[in-house]
Amino acid sequence: MKKKKNIGIVAHDNRKKDLIEWAAYNWQELAPHRLICTGTTGKLIEDMIFEKCRANEIIPPEIVRLKSGPLGGDQQLGALICEGGIDILIFFWDPMQPQPHEVDVKALLRIAVLYNIPTASNRSTADFIVSSTLFHKQYDPILKDYSAYIKREVDLL
């Protein structure tokens, strides 16, 4: 994980307001990094952060907007994690509302755990991540070797 992080950002509809409030509070911590967001969340983040950066004469971060979560954005984030393109995942998901793409949400969270990506699913955890002394430093996460699992599956075939 390089000093400049690739931060995946996504929020379910009922949590977008919470995420934007969190990002507005932490915009200075986020500005030096690359933000990779799904659909509408990306547009909201982009508008808010660009406004803050312009007002403070700071160069805004690169913001990449993927598809909406239900249209494949969650899967795009998962693929980026697998390819080493996401260092941190901020995912404010709604535990009270069933999602039509629940299987994609579960898959994204599974991939984040599999690849040992710091993941925040609520504001408190997101605050801890961006306030960590590791947030602006190079960090090399330890990846578990899953080759034994793969070998066992192949042997079963």
Domains of the chain with CATH codes: 6-156 (3.40.50.1380)
pLDDT in tens, 117-126: 999 999 999 9
Which one of the listed residues 47, 74, 94, 127 is annotated catalytic? 74
**% the chain with pLDDT above 90:** 72
Helix axes 102-114, 73-82, angle to 10 degrees: 10
Q: What confidence score (pLDDT) does residue 49 get? A: 94
47 among known catalytic residues: no
pTM (2 d.p.)? 0.90
pLDDT at 60 over 80: yes
12-36 pLDDT, tens digit per residue, is 999 999 999 999 999 999 999 999 9
